Amino acid sequence: MSYKFEPGHRRDRIHEIIFEADTLEGKIFDVVLLVMIMVSIIAVAWESLPTLDPGTKKRLYNLEWLLTIFFTVEYFLRIISVKRPMKYITSFYGVVDLLSILPTYLSIILPGSNTFLVIRALRLLRLFRIFKMANFLIQGDILLKSLKSSMAKIIVFVYFILVMVCIFGAIMYVVEGHVNPEFDSIPRSIYWAIVTITTVGFGDITPSTALGQFLSAILMITGYAVIAVPTGIMSAEIFKKQRRLMRSNRISTQACRSCSLEGHDEDAVYCKFCGDKLHTDDNDR
């Protein structure tokens, strides 16, 4: 639906190239954009290396500015070409697109803020859309929905974990605090409790007394057994989601010939709404 020889023609054309991936130009644009985002992230990471020689640093700095100017032009073209600019600007991708160019300009006043250019990584989420990886989009959608519907359970769970690490942190501060400088404050002890209950176990803070080690053991086994809870939640949720998808296939698709209502079980003999006998497709099979 491209309007030709009309005032809005150029705007539509830009929209087609930038926002869609159906035409050749659109696809080329998207791939070029993708490569530039990746290059830009690698450049930011590279620039942070402490062993970098000044020459490379200079070249990476220039590259960064070049890419930022490109992304800035792209950002304004997006605003111009879209029908409702405010909607795009306030959308998730609109905010990400803006945040992806701001750090470079900010780094003139605030040196070092260009590190936040890594936020460009979020722009890669468009990846799935560009290459029409519909299946990935559906799967991501199932995951998001499962996460959303189990969010209440997970918040309750995280809340319980937080109360627990507070109490364990305080106990460990009392038990270890006076003999072990690693447990020199309650916040640090709580940090340790989180490191322990999540089974991360850095080892930068470790109990040294027998009682401290005994309490740690309790905390570890709790964390080890309790990890089962969010996992169980997600398993049940994903399984339920998939089954609902499956079941919607299993309920017979036939409609009653009398009342035209659908939703009968596959083993139903009579319409559950009007009481008429169901003339199932099975007869024709």
* Subset of residues 52 to 111 that bind a second copy, contact rule: CB under 8 A: none
Q: Which is nearer to a second copy, 16 or 168 (CB)?
A: 168
Distance CA 183, CA 173 (A): 6
Question: Candidates 2-10, 32-40, 63-71, 225-233 — which segment interacts with a second copy by CB under 8 A?
Answer: 225-233
Compute, in degrees rounded to 10, the torsion defined by CA atoms 6, 7, 9, 12.
-130
Q: Does 203 bind a second copy (CB under 8 A)?
A: yes
Specify which residues 270 forms β-bridges with.
Answer: 277
Binding a second copy (rule: CB under 8 A), the pick from 35, 86, 179, 228 is 228
Query: What mask, x for binding a second copy by CB under 8 A, covers residues 174 to 193?
Result: x--x------xxxxx-xx--
Q: Does 195 bind a second copy (CB under 8 A)?
A: yes
**Footprint on residues 127-156 left by a second copy (CB under 8 A):** 127-128, 135-136, 139-140, 142-143, 146-147, 152-156
Q: Which are the contacts of 88, defined by CB distance < 8 A and separation ≥ 6? A: 78, 79, 82, 94
Q: Does 231 bind a second copy (CB under 8 A)?
A: yes
Binding a second copy (rule: CB under 8 A), the pick from 23, 48, 62, 90 is 48
**Footprint on residues 249-278 left by a second copy (CB under 8 A):** 255, 259-277
CB of 77 to a second copy, least distance (A): 25
Q: Which is nearer to a second copy, 14 or 268 (CB)?
A: 268
Contact predicate 69/60, CB 8 Å:
no
Cα angle 90-93-95, degrees, rounded to a multiple of 5: 50
Q: Does 225 bind a second copy (CB under 8 A)?
A: yes
Q: Which is nearer to a second copy, 3 or 224 (CB)?
A: 224
Cα angle 127-139-36, degrees, rounded to a multiple of 5: 10
Separation in Å, CA 237 to CA 150, 230, 232: 7, 10, 8
Q: Which is nearer to a second copy, 79 or 229 (CB)?
A: 229
CB of 218 to a second copy, least distance (A): 9
Question: Candidates 6-14, 21-29, 75-83, 122-130 — which segment interacts with a second copy by CB under 8 A?
Answer: 122-130
Distance CA 82, CA 40 (A): 25
Residue 270 has phi, psi (to 5 degrees) of: -115, 150
Contact predicate 261/271, CB 8 Å:
yes
Binding a second copy (rule: CB under 8 A), the pick from 173, 179, 209, 254 is 173
Tell me, letter by letter, the H, E, C secondary structure of 73-88: HHHHHHHHHCCCHHHH
Residue 21 amino acid letter: A
